[in-house]
Amino acid sequence: MSEAGANARRLGVVTRYKEHVGAFSPAFWEVKDVSGAWVAQPLGAIPMVSCFGDNRLGKAHPEWIQIDQAGTPATRASRYFDWTAICPSQPAVRQLARDWVRRALEASGGSDLRLDDVTYARQGYCYCPACVAGMAASGLDWSAYRQQTLTSFVEEVRQIVPGSLYLTLYPDPYPGHLEDRFGLNVDLLKSLVDAFITPIYDLTYSTTYWVEDIAHGFVDRLAGSPWMIELYGLDVPESAVGRALDVAAFYADRVLIAYERDLDKLKRLEARLQGG
Ligand SMILES: [Zn+2]
């Protein structure tokens, strides 16, 4: 993906508002989110599918929830997680996730797609029966097995998605962390996806040095692979998100603002990006 010229100064969005689609590029739409809800996207939006985060499925199928070695489920109620993590080693879960991808592409009328929550919950997850059996059969150690499980899932999705494939990465660029904490082997995944996207969220961005540290870490970590930063926008003071945008745009190929509803604010932020 080339980000040359004026196009590189476009602002992207993650949005729930139809009027934003077409006004910003790219415009991602959460067609299936971590609650388990399905919200059909308007034409022109790139669907985002939360694959292994799903509160509703976790309730219906507790046997699909990721667990640690002590059996603690990866849910909001039992740990500090923000949603329920279901397990990518479960064949039924993988099948559902691929079905969501197909459904999203059919509904969008487009060819691009973003994978969200393709991840293990944290280090220590998952030791469900499917993971334990899968790891034993693979002959791999625990970390390698998890990386293989997620890489093969992205390979399966790559076969389904004809256009650009985007993948969300947790904002932890420390060497080895994406691999060992989350099961994401960036070096293998970079040949499968067209761009990575890293959410770096805050409700105030009252300081930005940490945005810069994370962003600079990813520049080193991804070594030239196309990459976007996603900032949180809703109800964040415009001057603060603007400063974070300045930092993010220095390091990333593209910056997205997520969940902001105010179209005029987004347009002013895009003008700021373009030096206006
Ligand atoms: Zn598992």
Nearest CA to 3 out of 179, 224, 257, 230 is that of 224
User: What confidence score (pLDDT) does residue 1 get?
Assistant: 38
Residues 243 and 2: their CA atoms lie apart, in Å, by 25
How many angstroms does the Cα of residue 239 sit away from the middle of ligand 1? 43
Phi first, then psi, for residue 167 (nearest 5°) are -135, 130
Phi first, then psi, for residue 190 (nearest 5°) are -65, -25
Q: Residue 48, CB half-sphere, CA atoms under 13 Å: how many?
A: 22
Residues 6+ apart with CB under 8 A from 33: 39, 50
User: What confidence score (pLDDT) does residue 7 get?
Assistant: 55
User: What confidence score (pLDDT) does residue 81 get?
Assistant: 87
DSSP states along the chain: ----GGGGGPEEEE-S-GGGBTTBSSEEEEEE-TT--B-PPPTTPEEEEE-SB-HHHHHH-GGGB-B-TT--BSSTTTSS-SSPBBPTTSHHHHHHHHHHHHHHHHHH-SS-EEEE--S-SSTT---SHHHHHHHHHHT--HHHHHHHHHHHHHHHHHHH--S-EEEE--S--STTHHHHHH---HHHHTTT-SEEEEEE--SS----HHHHHHHHHHHHHHTT--EEEEEE-TT--HHHHHHHHHHHHHHSSEEEEES---HHHHHHHHHHHTT-
The environment of the single-atom ion ligand 1, i.e. residues with CB closer than 5 A, is 87, 89, 126, 128, 131
How many angstroms does the Cα of residue 133 sit away from the middle of ligand 1? 9
Could you list the residue range(s) of the whole structural domain that residue 246 is in?
Answer: 5-273
User: What confidence score (pLDDT) does residue 22 get?
Assistant: 93
Residues 30 and 18: their CA atoms lie apart, in Å, by 12
Under a CB-based contact definition with an 8 Å cutoff, are residues 27 and 47 in contact?
Answer: no
Residues 94 and 150: their CA atoms lie apart, in Å, by 10
Token couple for 104:
């999203």
Nearest CA to 258 out of 218, 227, 228 is that of 228
The answer, yes or no, to whether the previous bond of 126 is cis (omega within 30 of 0) is yes
User: How would you write the pLDDT of the chain (276 residues) with one tens digit per residue?
Assistant: 344 445 558 999 999 999 999 999 999 999 999 999 999 889 999 999 999 999 999 999 999 999 999 999 999 888 778 899 999 999 999 999 999 999 999 988 889 999 999 999 999 999 999 999 999 999 999 999 999 999 999 999 999 999 999 999 999 999 999 999 999 999 999 999 999 999 999 999 999 999 999 999 999 999 899 999 999 999 999 999 999 999 999 999 999 999 999 999 999 999 999 986
Tell me the CATH number at 97. 3.20.20.80
Into how many domains does the chain fold?
A: 1
Residue for token pair 């973003």: 114
How many angstroms does the Cα of residue 233 sit away from the middle of ligand 1? 34
Residues 30 and 62: their CA atoms lie apart, in Å, by 24
How many angstroms does the Cα of residue 195 sit away from the middle of ligand 1? 27
User: What confidence score (pLDDT) does residue 215 get?
Assistant: 97
How many angstroms does the Cα of residue 90 sit away from the middle of ligand 1? 7
How many angstroms does the Cα of residue 184 sit away from the middle of ligand 1? 15
User: What confidence score (pLDDT) does residue 276 get?
Assistant: 64
